[in-house]
């Protein structure tokens, strides 16, 4: 992929300062770049670092000093940088065919232009929408529905009766539809397994990171709302209902029957107890432990147990004062 500065600026909604005929062949970083690469510089410090480096073009909001680099000036450099990465990303070309080394049930409904690679195993009554891609080692259980333009990376397991919407991206090692963790103590003190006969529904435009697990519901569905992005190594328990456009960072665990609103953010290693209600636009800071049964809309929480951020800051300040008095 190569493009000149003028054309790239047009596609990014910006303007060029300097030689707009310079050819750009890739995206570099502040620490490593080449003369035919563009890098994103936010703020004065990063701009000066970029200007003293090897890159040919700097994407920025303004010039902080005179320099010999070509500049592309945009109102929102971060969004423009995302567009830039999309322009230069390597796009795989898929065959749109089913490998002879895949195992596909005769009852499966495979739409046109679907790529199914070797060692994929597709069970009975599965439907797969147009343009979807299944990498080697994927297992699809009975009666699973997969929408259009889904990309499922190696060694993903999707259990029976689960459903994916359109444009779902699933990274390697994900398990969707394992049994929920449900047990009841019997009269003899032994733990009796509660059958988990529900499913998982993943709506449109969801991304699920590597080795994440999403358990099936006991009798209804575990739901992942459209636009939600889930990082690696996340555990979502049975009967959970995740709203739309949530961000869930690595090693977060969300307990059974918890419900989240839309546009919530869970930072890394957040733990959420069962049956919590987390309303729209809640942010939970890293390593927090959520035990409250309801978290208010639009607020930020952190700590163990997680409290509203202003309350938690007062508690921490008081704790420091106690420590000082002891000495």
Decide if 310 is catalytic: no
In the set 48, 90, 153, 238, the catalytic residue is 238
Distance from C-alpha of 286 to C-alpha of 251, rounded to nearest angstrom: 10
Closest by CA position to 39, among listed 86, 9, 72? 72
Region of 264 on the Ramachandran plot (φ > 0 left; ψ -120 to 50 alpha; else beta): beta
- Active site members: 238
């Amino acid at each position: 992929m190569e493009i000149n500065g003028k054309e790239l600026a047009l596609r990014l909604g910006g303007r060029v300062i300097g030689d707009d005929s310079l050819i750009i062949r890739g995206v570099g970083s502040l620490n490593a770049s080449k003369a035919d690469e563009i890098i994103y510089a936010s703020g004065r410090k990063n701009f000066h670092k970029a200007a003293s480096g090897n890159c040919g073009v700097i994407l920025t909001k303004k010039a902080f000093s005179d320099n010999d680099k070509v500049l592309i000036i945009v109102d929102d450099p971060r969004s423009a940088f995302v567009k830039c990465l999309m322009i230069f990303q390597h796009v795989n070309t898929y065959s749109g065919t089913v490998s002879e080394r895949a195992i596909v049930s005769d009852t499966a409904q495979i739409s046109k232009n679907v790529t199914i690679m070797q060692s994929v195993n597709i069970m009975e009554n599965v439907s797969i929408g147009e343009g979807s891609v299944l990498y080697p080692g994927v297992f699809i259980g009975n009666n699973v529905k997969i929408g259009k333009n889904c990309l499922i990376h190696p060694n993903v397991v999707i259990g029976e009766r689960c459903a994916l919407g359109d444009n779902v991206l699933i990274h390697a090692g994900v398990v969707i539809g394992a049994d929920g963790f449900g047990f009841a103590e019997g009269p003899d003190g032994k733990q009796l397994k509660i059958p988990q006969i529900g499913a998982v529904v993943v709506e449109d435009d969801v991304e699920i990171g590597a080795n994440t697990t999403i358990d099936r519901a006991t009798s209804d569905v575990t739901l992942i709302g459209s636009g939600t992005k889930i990082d690696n190594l996340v555990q979502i328990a049975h009967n959970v209902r995740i709203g739309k456009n949530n961000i869930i960072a690595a090693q977060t665990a969300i307990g059974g029957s918890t419900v989240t609103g839309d546009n919530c953010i869970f930072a890394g290693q957040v733990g959420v107890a069962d049956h919590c209600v987390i309303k729209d636009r809640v942010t939970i800071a890293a390593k927090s432990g959520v035990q409250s049964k309801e978290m208010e809309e639009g607020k930020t929480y952190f700590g163990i147990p997680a409290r509203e951020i202003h309350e938690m800051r007062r508690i921490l300040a008081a704790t420091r004062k106690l420590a000082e008095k002891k000495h």
